[in-house]
Structure 1
């Protein structure tokens, strides 16, 4: 199965799931040492161990080398784990990088309703994350900042995210309840 998508995988947004990551980045991932040594025989269950061992998030660094985070994201696209498994990744309180990987994967593959339903609760997670930047160094961010970026940015971790319906439009259509910020109580006082 080396670099091919699982045969039972369904198309996502009308395309092969791996194609959600641009070809040039996908090629760099397939050529990377981490992919060849650590991602070759992973399954939906064994990928958890690799995600727990992550020490940073990010897309590419240094001389455009893919990070371990983006390699595992591509592997998840290749394996296409069930939505329930991805939701368990996101709801995991113990491992913040597993949570970030699940959130990134859901943002790539989920519907607008699923994305808002499962990612917005993570806006209350204030744990620190390390982000590998293009220069190869690290910068500090937080889970809530990363999730906010997933909800509002077009490009995260050097990956163009599929478009989602704006939240206010979904509220107007009655698809989703209005979001009440935890800060509103503080403002009222």
Structure 2
């Protein structure tokens, strides 16, 4: 009986991983996902029909044929997605690094969900250094992904999914183990400083500051040129600016005070002095 495949997939869960080795990051692969999520996966129709007796090569066919979105559980019944079911199957199969690299190197839109599944598995089972070195190159992957949640389906991208795996604490209905900060690993000498696709951030900031200074200086030079042109026309720049400001305060030029003078001179009949000769 030892040579036959066990039909009851719950054995992997009931033994709590005692029959398999721990993951490279020291976690028990049988308990990485929450118990409630594991139970829903094992009871799902997709797990019973498509995940029985498959190996690492069959995973590729299952992803291409059945996975059209990433996600954890969906709907009011919290039904597990095929993506999450195959992630649990990978935890059971425990593929080595060579197989994972074969998953990750498959290009084209046909295998983008296979890459997402491999990245998700790497985040669950590999040490922090391997997680950073494996996931960060795929921050340049701009391909679109469908992300199915309990609220519905939305559009995301491979690089956004990778960023969530590096930053978030819960992805696809699975609590991720705490990942050390990259800066801490750099200080310990375990990781090289990451080079951004935009280049050196400090140099970019210095260039922006230099451009701002040049813009201000160019504005001052233009003001001086305008003042020189005004002097050539026989008008002092300061007087011109002062006249324009006074005109704006008084209304329309020198005529702004005329209505007030007329009102004061005319006044009303009660304000005029009476003729004493009468």
Q: TM-score range by the shorter chain?
A: over 0.9
Once the two structures are TM-superposed, the CA of residue 163 in structure 1 deviates from its matched residue by: 1.6
Please name the residue that 1:114 is paired with: 130
- Cα pair 2:27 2:125 within 8 Å, conserved: no
Equivalence for 1:142: 157
Task: For 1:169 and 1:72, locate their aligned partners in 2 and report how far apart those are by CA, in whole Å.
Answer: 33
Q: Secondary structure of 2:89's match? A: helix
Counterpart secondary structure, 2:156:
strand
Q: Are 1:35 and 1:71, in contact at CA under 8 Å, matched by a contact in 2?
A: yes
Structure-2 separation of matches of 1:4 and 1:115: 29
CA distance in 1, matches of 2:198, 2:11: 46
User: How far 1:104 moved relative to its partner?
Assistant: 0.2
The secondary structure found in structure 2 opposite 1:4 is helix
In structure 1, what is the equivalent of residue 22 of structure 2?
11
Q: Distance in 1 between matches of 2:64 and 2:182?
A: 31
Q: Report the aligned-residue RMSD.
A: 1.9
Find the counterpart in structure 1 of residue 144 from structure 2: 128
d(CA) in 2 for partners of 1:81, 1:9: 12
The Cα shift of 1:9 comes to 3.1
Unaligned runs of 5+ in 2: 1-5, 208-278
For normalisation by structure 2, the TM-score amounts to: 0.64
1:71 aligns with: 85
Matched residue pairs, number? 188
SS at match of 2:90: helix
| d(CA) in 1 for partners of 2:35, 2:26 | 16
Once structures 1 and 2 are overlaid, which stretch shifts more, 95-104 or 16-25? 16-25
**Residue 100 (structure 2) pairs with residue 93 (structure 1):** no
- 1:185: how far off? 6.5
Q: Normalized against structure 1, the TM-score is what?
A: 0.92
CA shift digits 1:73-95 (9 cap, x unpaired): 00000111112111221232231
Is 1:171 aligned to residue 186 of structure 2? yes
Question: Where in structure 1 do 4 or more consecutive aligned residues deviate above 6 Å?
Answer: none
Partner of 1:31: 43
Q: In the alignment, does 2:173 pair up with 1:158?
A: yes
Task: Name the CA shift for 1:180/1:15 in 2 (closer, same or farther; >3 Å).
Answer: closer
Q: Which has the larger radius of gyration?
A: 2
Q: Which has the higher contact order (CA 8 A, sep 6+)?
A: 1
**CA distance change for structure 1 residues 8 and 18 in 2, over 3 Å: closer, same or farther?**
closer
Structure 2 contact 70–83 (Cα < 8 Å) conserved: yes
Distance in 2 of aligned mates of 1:121 and 1:144: 9
SS at match of 2:177: coil
**Residue number in structure 1 paired with 2:272:** none
Larger helix proportion, structure 1 or 2?
2
